[in-house]
Amino acid sequence: MHANMNATTAAARTKTFRPQKARSGTQGWQLKQFADATLGSGSLKKAVKLPEGEDRDEWLAVNVVDFYNQINLLYGSITEFCSPQSCPEMKATDEFEYLWQDSESFKRPTKMPAPQYIEHLMAWCQSNIDNEQMFPSRIGVPFPKQFGPQLRNMVKRLYRVYAHIYCHHYPVVIALGLEPHLNTSFKHYVLFINEHDLVTGKDFWGPLGDLVEGILNSD
C-alpha cells in the first residue's frame, strides 16, 4: 500500500493469494519505482499519467498488478468478516449482484457467496499475471494483442471487490483503521482507469457512482 498499512498482518489473514512483485532489473520493476516515487509526492493525478517515453502497455500492466496487490491486502484484512453466512451472494447493492464465469470450471455465469467469488477472482488474476505470454516481464518482449481486452476484464472484476467492501464491510474498515488506505487505493484506481480509458460508460460504476463522480470532480 502507499500508506503505511500493516502488510504483514493483512497477508497473514489472506487465505489464498500471494502478492505479486515486479522483478528487480526488469522494465516493470523500474516503472514500479517511478510509480511509487510519484505517489510519494502526494499527487495522484500526476501519478496516473504515462511517463514520457514509456511503453503504455507496460505502464498499464505495472499499475494493474499494483491494484491487484492493494485489493489483495485490503480484502485480506477484513476476510474474517466476509463469510458464506454473512455474504451468501457476491453483491454490492441489491441491484448489483455479480456471477462468476471463467473458461474452465464455471463456463456459465454462476451464483456463489462473496468469499468464494473473490477467491476465484484473485486466483484468476494471479494466473494472468503469472502468465509470461500475457504479462511478459523481460525487456523487449511485446505484449500480445489480447492483452488489452484481458486487462480491461481484470480492471472490471477488481472493481467488484472494491464495491463489495464499500457496500458491505465499510464499518469494519473504519473500525480497523483502514479507511484512509481503502479510500486512497480506490481514488488511485478511479483516476488511473479514467486517465487511460479502461472502462466505458457511467453504468460501469453502478453502486459507487456517486463516490466516483465526487473523485473525478474534486481531483
* Distance from C-alpha of 134 to C-alpha of 136, rounded to nearest angstrom: 6
Query: Is 82 marked as a binding-site residue?
Result: yes
Closest CA to 207 of 93, 89, 90, 71: 93
Q: Kindly give, in sequence order, each residue whose CB lies less than 8 Å from that of residue 158, ignoring residues fewer than 6 positions away.
A: 64, 67, 68, 71, 121, 125, 189
Contact 66, 184 (CB under 8 A): no
Residue 188 assigned as binding residue? no
Which residues lie below 8 Å from residue 6, measured CB to CB, with a gap of 6+? none
Binding-site residue set: 82, 87, 164, 169
Binding-site residue set for Zn(2+): 82, 87, 164, 169
